[in-house]
Amino acid sequence: MTRRLLSGFARSVAIFVPVFLVATFVTFALRALSGLSPAHLQLGESATPEAVAQIEHQWGLDRPFLTQYLDWFGDLLAGRLGTSWYNGADISRLLVEGAVVSLSVAGLALVLGVVFGFGFGVLAAVRRTTWVDRAITGFMTFISVMPSFVVGIVLVVVFAVGLGWFPSAGYVPAERGLGVWLAHLVLPAIALSFDTVSDVARQLRAGLVAAYRENYVTGAVVRGLGPRRIFLRHVLRNGMGPALTVLGMKFPNLLGGAVVTESIFGMAGFGKFAADSAQRGDVPAVQGVLVVSVVLVVVFNLLVNVILVRVTPASARGV
């Protein structure tokens, strides 16, 4: 098992390292493609060519492109994302402050997606072709077409303004109490989780139903194994692969959806920082957001691939 895990991890790294390198290169090329300069932020549109050249020299932007990229990539590997053109602040610090908020919301949304997606998917597969299966399938289809911003507005109106069960906006750090922290995360996390719940449930249901039709399940029934043992040892392990794959694909959507959700719930998170930086033309800040997003997505997908190798026999064989 250890050898299979290492082999699967090595295959994943072999795929994701080139992806990361290409993504960082494209991200760094953003400034050259945009044509933006820190001089425009500091001096405005009335800046003279001499003043622009002086400021770009101070920022090292008059050096060859490849030299700039290699220096930036070296700083990136050391955990330094540069300095904001807008206010001269350290981008790493600004991103950490926003990422804590966004990852808290996305993390809770992911947990909700896993718990309810797997719960509904398993129930629909076990009760396949019954009214329970049809009801769950219809409900998953319904919530899958609901935009997160619409769900967020409805949740605020009903549960925050109407019933007063949750705060309508804002974020409270966990240091001030887990209860208060969770109370501010519940509504935005629910709004973000609908799409993940529906896709995970439908993929899991399809995978489990397909596994139930395999010959090894028929053989287990003939040998007299109980339904629970058949489900846990044969059906679930072989049928959960598609759901785990979809889960890996949903993580970028959760981070991207944070932009809209944070604006509805008044959170100064990762998405708001990215949107504000883009509107100001703060290229280093936007580059930092993109790089951190790529790293988070790559790491999460590596974890999903390792889990796939561990729990699904087909993935362990490289199928």
Tokens of 42: 């500091």
Q: Count other Cβ atoms within 10 Å, centred on residue 125.
A: 24
- Please identify, among 78, 106, 129, the residue that sits at the C-terminal boundary of a domain: 78
Number of Cβ atoms within 10 Å of the Cβ of 48? 10
What phi-psi label fits residue 37: left (phi over 0), alpha (psi between -120 and 50 degrees) or beta? beta
115 plus 1 within the same structural domain: no
Instruction: Please check whether residue 127 lies inside any domain of the structure.
Output: yes
The reported pTM is 0.74
Residues 135 and 222 in one domain: yes
Task: Please tell me whether residues 162 and 255 are part of one structural domain.
Answer: yes
Residues 59, 23 share a domain: yes
Residue 9, C-beta contacts closer than 8 angstroms, at least 6 positions apart:
302, 305, 306, 309
Residues 110 and 228 in one domain: yes
3-state class (DSSP) for residue 271: helix
Residue 235 belongs to a domain:
yes
Helical (H) or strand (E) element with 106: helix 91-126
51-66 burial, b at 16+ Cβ within 10 Å, e below that, comes to ebeebeeebebeeeee
Q: Which residues contact 28 (CB under 8 A, 6 or more apart)?
A: 68, 69, 72, 73, 287
Pick the closest to residue 271 from 111, 104, 79, 152 (CA basis).
104
Number of folded domains in the chain?
Answer: 2
- 196 is a domain residue: yes
Question: What is the C-alpha to C-alpha distance for residues 296 and 310, in angstroms, rounded to an integer?
Answer: 21
Rounded alpha-carbon distances, angstroms, from residue 214 to 206, 234, 261, 317: 13, 10, 42, 18
* CATH code: domain of residue 154: 1.10.3720.10
Tens digit of pLDDT per residue, the chain (319 long)?
Answer: 566 656 666 766 777 778 778 888 887 787 777 666 666 666 666 666 776 677 767 777 777 778 888 888 887 887 777 777 777 777 888 787 777 887 888 888 888 888 898 888 888 888 887 888 888 888 888 887 787 778 888 888 888 777 778 877 777 777 777 788 888 888 888 888 888 888 888 888 887 877 777 676 667 667 766 677 777 666 777 777 777 777 777 777 777 676 677 777 777 777 777 777 777 777 788 888 888 877 877 777 777 777 776 666 554 444 4
Q: Are residues 234 and 141 part of one domain?
A: yes
Is 188 found in the same domain as 43? Answer: no
Give a yes or no: residue 207 inside a domain.
yes
Could you say which of 14, 49, 78 is where a domain stops? Answer: 78
Domain hosting residue 12, numbered range = 1-78
- Residue 117, in any domain of the structure: yes
In a domain, 86, yes or no: no
Q: Are residues 70 and 177 in the same domain?
A: no
Nearest-5° Cα angle at 310, 308 to 313: 75
DSSP state of 130: S
| Cα–Cα distance, 53 to 48 (Å, whole number) | 9
Cα distance between residue 112 and residue 159, in whole Å: 18
- Domain boundary residue, one of 45, 78, 111: 78
pLDDT at position 103 is 80
> What pLDDT, on the 0 to 100 scale, is given for residue 4?
60
Both 63 and 112 in one domain: the answer is no
Domain identity same for 197 and 100: yes
Same domain membership, residue 188 and residue 215: yes
The predicted structure's pLDDT at residue 318: 43
DSSP string, 163-214: S-SS-SS----GGG-HHHHHHHHHHHHHHHHHHHHHHHHHHHHHHHHHHHTS
Asked whether residue 239 is domain-assigned, the answer is: yes
Q: Tell me whether residue 85 is in a domain.
A: no
Residue type, 164: G
Lookup: tokens for 162: 């109407």
The answer to whether residues 49 and 155 belong to one domain is no
